[in-house]
DNA sequence: GTCTATACGGTGATAGAC
DNA sequence: GTCTATCACCGTATAGAC
């Protein structure tokens, strides 16, 4: 608990974390091997246990880091008072898809680990302080003002997230059975979605 | 290859398959243990290897079964010539969500395994013969007839699937950080979505 | 801090009795 | 077909030299 409070990350520790990140994301917790992480970092297994006591602790270290850098960073703007709902939709979709494009395997990794060991992992970002009250009340306000049609804010939010994230998680399925896309096709498709998703949503909820 | 062509599934074999199905879906291939499957089936490990030669073969057996019963069954109606596009949207969403509600962990399992070992698994339903040509041309026809707005059929389809499936895959995240739902809340939410998703889609694409 | 060597508990798979 | 016993290996973790 108190360990490593003031100690800064050394070079080796950073290298290990980066190697662990790559291997865990590629293989998942169960599929990852300490040996593979050691190889990736060009060190030996013993050193892994020197820096992090166990596989589980090493995993938790990278998982916390991943969660915070990935989820929290991008979801802040939807609470920003400076944008209309429509603008937030456009900005969020563009930003969120771009973020995932840089780390396309992150969503699948996070969601799978969360499903596999919810008790262990869910607590991590339970205290992340993600508040959506303002966004939801903003939607209700714009409904009252006649700017957008009556719509359930929760469903709207989940719809938006679903359409951005799911294609990456379902990529192997999309590329084979659903649409028979090549890697290049898929990238183009996701690039198009930065435009079509906001269009699709706004078409649905805008007052005529 | 030729083995077991005429031999019907015995009782024991069915029990094993059912046990394997539960454990694999709960733990994934890497996390599943042959011992646990044996326990679940109330037999011993040796018998597993008697019926299926290896863990991998046992996994493939249940995976093929899962894919076929899950994916193919529900996606047929979108090629059905007897429904309008709007009706297909309503029917598909209702049917697909209901199907997943009966096996809520199936989508996460399938998607994760597919991402983890695409080379091995993707071939299984590559020859499934899922054809979407009719559905896509039907959409383009209704666009020409002025029934629905110009829309990219591929995006429409992926949007629909995303909104149905993603909430189940992202359930731990929705229930904790995004919406703070209880199990009961979540079920209610998904029940609502059978109505709100078709409404959301049709609002977006219907001609005024 | 970093290495080699090793302990030790699983884990998939097989042998062989019944 | 079903069981018990066992093997060979792998994976995490530790001991101890440098």
CATH of domain A76-205: 1.10.357.10
Classify domain B70-205 by CATH architecture. Answer: Orthogonal Bundle (1.10)
Say whether A158 and B174 touch across the interface (CB within 8 A).
yes
Distance A8 CA to C1 C1' (A): 15
Instruction: Output the six-digit token pair for A137.
Output: 């009340």
Chain mean position to CA B87: 21
In B, which residues are within 8 Å of A66 by CB distance? none
Model confidence over A17-64: pLDDT tens digits?
Answer: 999 999 999 999 999 999 999 999 999 999 999 999 999 999 999 999
CATH of domain B8-53: 1.10.10.60
Distance A48 CA to D10 C1' (A): 18
Rounded average pLDDT over A80-109: 96
Calpha distance B144→B153 (Å, rounded): 13
In B, which residues are within 8 Å of A108 by CB distance? 111-112, 115
CB-nearest partner of B108 from A112, A167, A171: A112
Distance A110 CA to D10 C1' (A): 27
pLDDT at A127: 65
Q: Are B154 and A189 in contact (CB under 8 A)?
A: yes
Whether nucleic acid strand D comes within 7 Å of the CB of A49, the answer is yes
Model confidence over B29-74: pLDDT tens digits?
Answer: 999 999 999 999 999 999 999 999 999 999 999 999 998 888 777 6
A54-69 as b/e: b if 16+ CB within 10 A: ebeebbbbbbeebbee
Calpha distance A64→A75 (Å, rounded): 16
Domain with CATH 1.10.10.60 in chain B: 8-53
Whether nucleic acid strand C comes within 7 Å of the CB of A134, the answer is no
Greater confidence (A124 vs A127) lies with: A124
3-state secondary structure of B107: helix
Closest CA of chain B from A199, distance in Å: 9
Say whether B201 and A204 touch across the interface (CB within 8 A).
yes
Give percent of chain B above pLDDT 90. Answer: 81
Identify the residues numbered 7 to 36 in chain B whose C-beta atom is closer than 7 Å to any atom of strand D. Answer: 10, 12
3-state secondary structure of B72: helix
Instruction: Output the six-digit token pair for A150.
Output: 């009556």
Say whether A112 and B114 touch across the interface (CB within 8 A).
no
Of residues B198, B186, B200, B199, the one with CA closest to residue B101: B186
Best mutation target among B154, B165, B189 (most A Cβ atoms within 10 Å) is B154
Distance B30 CA to D14 C1' (A): 25
Rounded average pLDDT over B78-84: 93
Q: Nucleotides on strand D with an atom closer than 7 A to protein CB? A: 1-5, 10-16
Confidence of residue A14 (pLDDT cuts 50, 70, 90): very high
pLDDT at A203: 98
Q: Nucleotides on strand C with an atom closer than 7 A to protein CB? A: 1-5, 11-16
Model confidence over B150-197: pLDDT tens digits?
Answer: 999 999 999 999 999 999 999 999 999 889 999 999 999 999 999 999
- Chain A residue whose CA is closest to B72: A177
Closest CA of chain B from A2, distance in Å: 27
CB-nearest partner of A172 from B115, B152, B155: B115
Task: Report the nucleotide nearest the CA of residue A44, measured to C1'.
Answer: C3
């Amino acid at each position: 608990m108190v360990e490593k409070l003031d100690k800064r990350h050394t070079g080796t520790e950073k290298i290990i974390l980066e190697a662990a990140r790559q291997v865990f994301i590629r293989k998942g917790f169960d599929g990852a091997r300490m040996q593979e992480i050691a190889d990736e970092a060009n060190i030996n297994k013993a050193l892994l246990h020197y820096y992090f006591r166990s596989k589980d602790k090493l995993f938790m270290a990278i998982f916390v880091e991943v969660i915070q850098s990935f989820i929290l960073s991008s979801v802040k703007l939807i609470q920003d008072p400076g944008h209309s709902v429509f603008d937030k939709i456009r900005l969020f979709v563009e930003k969120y898809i771009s973020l995932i494009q840089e780390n396309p395997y992150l969503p699948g990794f996070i969601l799978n680990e969360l499903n596999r060991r919810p008790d262990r992992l869910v607590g991590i970002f339970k205290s992340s302080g993600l508040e959506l009250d303002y966004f939801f009340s903003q939607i209700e306000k714009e409904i009252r003002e006649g700017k957008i049609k009556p719509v359930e804010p929760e469903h709207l939010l989940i719809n938006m997230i679903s359409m951005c994230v799911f294609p990456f998680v379902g990529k192997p399925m999309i590329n084979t059975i659903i649409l028979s896309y090549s890697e290049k096709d898929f990238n183009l498709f996701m690039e198009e979605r930065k435009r079509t998703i906001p269009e699709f949503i706004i078409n649905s909820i805008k007052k005529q």
